[in-house]
């Protein structure tokens, strides 16, 4: 399918593909086994300016927007979803600064994120506030020219490895979600510590940790937007980052489909390749159709975001749900095509299936996002959009 990418987009995609094939594929099984954070690859991505892609040019980025970001994530995830998530989570952690940072905050943080010198993370989830993000309990209490943060966040991607955190905390407990605010917290701030790296089913090289805030004092200058805007910062951040989660799934499904086609051609049973069976051919055909439909939806959503559209909650949610459900199905079917060896760690299929699951869970579970899509539909009183 021709998606008419610009020269820059093709260049960025080509470079990400080269790194994925030459540097990530050879180490992905080892990273999965050891659960080691992929620092060597992160440094390489920084050297070839991959972290500049989603940062505007005026802050030392390449101005590649959401489309550029999605293309890089897709290519990295075709090789390893865990590595790709590490990159995608930097964009997630940066979005609150991009969307709500003032000029001083942007000048201070965006160039060093663009250079890859400092990774970022986004901290919203707490033990009693997952899908119900409005139930967060972490507080940020004003004290002179500072805010004092107390509480804990859990399941934070890049936690412990990142140096810049965008955190949502309550500045007014009486107002519920409307009393939340967003803050930048730097890693070395006294009172800010981390839990152990979580042991996960998939994306095992990605770091997931708890964040603890114990009288953690941050300057007032680190407030993003205004007090009380934490909920809107969260919603707008997730609207823009969900195409990235969809791209994690597209890359993953693409890699899995390619592996299945190769295997189906070379594996012989009953004196002929298993690809000669229509049952296998139809599985491959279904995978290819669903994958391309998801890809078209994701690129269209990313382009809508880059066009400057104000409201794309529905599009972002649809892209995320459709692509992540697709990848779960594709990777499960790929294991089936590999048969017994598909279940073994010596082959890439089982890792892809394990990696696919998380994309249906984070950044809004697919059930919760279906609720959101339905809500948007019903709000429109059955009027056609567009």
Ligand X SMILES: Cc1cc2nc3c(=O)[nH]c(=O)nc-3n(C[C@H](O)[C@H](O)[C@H](O)COP(=O)(O)OP(=O)(O)OC[C@H]3O[C@@H](n4cnc5c(N)ncnc54)[C@H](O)[C@@H]3O)c2cc1C
When the beta carbons of 61 and 160 are compared against ligand X, the nearer one is 160
When the beta carbons of 9 and 166 are compared against ligand X, the nearer one is 166
When the beta carbons of 62 and 238 are compared against ligand X, the nearer one is 238
> What separation in angstroms does the CA of 341 have from each of 132, 278, 334, 356?
40, 21, 11, 18
Q: Which residues bind ligand X (CB under 6 A)?
A: 89, 121-125, 130-131, 155-157, 200, 208, 358, 361-363, 365, 367-368, 371
When the beta carbons of 342 and 364 are compared against ligand X, the nearer one is 364
> Closest separation between CB of residue 375 and ligand X, Å?
11
d(CA 82, CA 89): 11
Burial pattern 168-189, b for ≥16 Cβ within 10 A else e, equals bbbbbeeeebebbbbbbbebeb
Beta strands in the chain (DSSP E): 120-123, 139-143, 146-157, 164-170, 180-186, 192-194, 208-219, 223-224, 268-269, 272-273
When the beta carbons of 78 and 354 are compared against ligand X, the nearer one is 354
Q: Is 292 exposed, middle or buried (0-12, 13-18, 19+ CB in 10 A)?
A: middle
Q: Is 30 tagged catalytic?
A: no
Determine which helix (DSSP H) or strand (DSSP E) holds 12, and give its type and residue range. helix 7-19
Does residue 244 contact residue 238 with C-beta atoms inside 8 Å? no
Q: How big is the CA angle at 95 (ends 164 and 3), to the nearest 5 degrees?
A: 130
> Closest separation between CB of residue 359 and ligand X, Å?
10
Q: Is 115 exposed, middle or buried (0-12, 13-18, 19+ CB in 10 A)?
A: middle
Give helix 81-100 / helix 39-47 axis angle, nearest 10°.
50
> Closest separation between CB of residue 294 and ligand X, Å?
20
> Closest separation between CB of residue 370 and ligand X, Å?
8
DSSP-based three-state secondary structure for 224: strand
> Closest separation between CB of residue 234 and ligand X, Å?
9
When the beta carbons of 127 and 281 are compared against ligand X, the nearer one is 127
Distance of CA 64 to the CA centre of its chain: 17
- Closest C-alpha among 226, 122, 207 to residue 166: 122
Cβ atoms within 10 Å, residue 345: 11
Does residue 141 contact residue 227 with C-beta atoms inside 8 Å? no
Per annotation, catalytic residue among 75, 315, 363, 372:
363
> Closest separation between CB of residue 358 and ligand X, Å?
5
Sign of dihedral through CA atoms 77, 81, 82, 88? positive
d(CA 269, CA 121): 48
* Residue closest to ligand X (Cβ): 130
> Closest separation between CB of residue 123 and ligand X, Å?
5
When the beta carbons of 105 and 234 are compared against ligand X, the nearer one is 234
Catalytic site positions: 363
């Amino acid at each position: 399918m021709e998606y008419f990418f610009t020269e820059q987009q093709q260049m960025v995609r080509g470079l990400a593909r080269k790194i994925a094939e030459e540097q990530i594929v050879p180490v992905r099984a080892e990273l999965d086994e050891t659960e080691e954070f992929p620092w060597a690859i992160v440094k390489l991505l920084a050297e070839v300016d991959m972290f500049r892609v989603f940062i505007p040019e005026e802050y030392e980025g390449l101005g590649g927007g959401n489309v550029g970001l999605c293309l890089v994530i897709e290519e990295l995830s075709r090789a390893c979803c865990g590595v790709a998530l590490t990159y995608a989570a930097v964009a997630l952690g940066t979005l609150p600064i991009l969307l709500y940072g003032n000029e001083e905050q942007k000048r201070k943080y965006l160039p060093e994120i663009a250079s890859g010198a400092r990774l970022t993370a986004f901290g919203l989830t707490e033990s009693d506030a997952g899908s119900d993000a409005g139930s967060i309990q972490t507080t940020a209490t004003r004290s002179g020219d500072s805010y004092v943060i107390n509480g804990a966040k859990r399941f934070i991607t890049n936690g412990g490895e990142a140096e810049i955190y965008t955190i949502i905390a309550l500045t007014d407990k009486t107002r519920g979600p409307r009393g939340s605010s967003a803050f930048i917290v730097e890693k070395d701030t006294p009172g800010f510590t981390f839990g152990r790296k979580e042991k996960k089913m998939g994306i095992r090289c990605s770091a997931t940790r708890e964040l603890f805030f114990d009288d953690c004092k941050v300057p007032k200058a680190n407030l993003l937007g205004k007090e009380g805007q934490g909920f809107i910062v969260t919603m707008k951040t997730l609207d823009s980052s969900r195409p990235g989660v969809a791209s994690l799934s597209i890359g993953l499904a693409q890699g899995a489909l390619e592996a299945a086609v190769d295997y189906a051609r070379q594996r012989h049973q009953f004196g002929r390749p298993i690809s000669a069976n229509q049952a296998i051919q139809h599985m491959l055909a279904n995978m290819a159709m669903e994958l391309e439909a998801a890809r078209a939806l994701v690129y269209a959503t990313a382009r809508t975001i880059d066009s400057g559209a104000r409201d794309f909650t529905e599009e972002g949610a649809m892209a995320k749900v459709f692509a992540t459900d697709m990848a779960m199905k594709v990777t499960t079917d790929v294991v089936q095509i590999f048969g017994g060896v598909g279940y073994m760690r010596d082959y890439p299929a089982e890792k892809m299936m394990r990696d696919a699951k998380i994309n249906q869970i984070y950044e809004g579970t697919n059930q919760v996002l279906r609720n959101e899509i339905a809500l948007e539909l019903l709000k429109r009183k059955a009027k056609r959009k567009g």
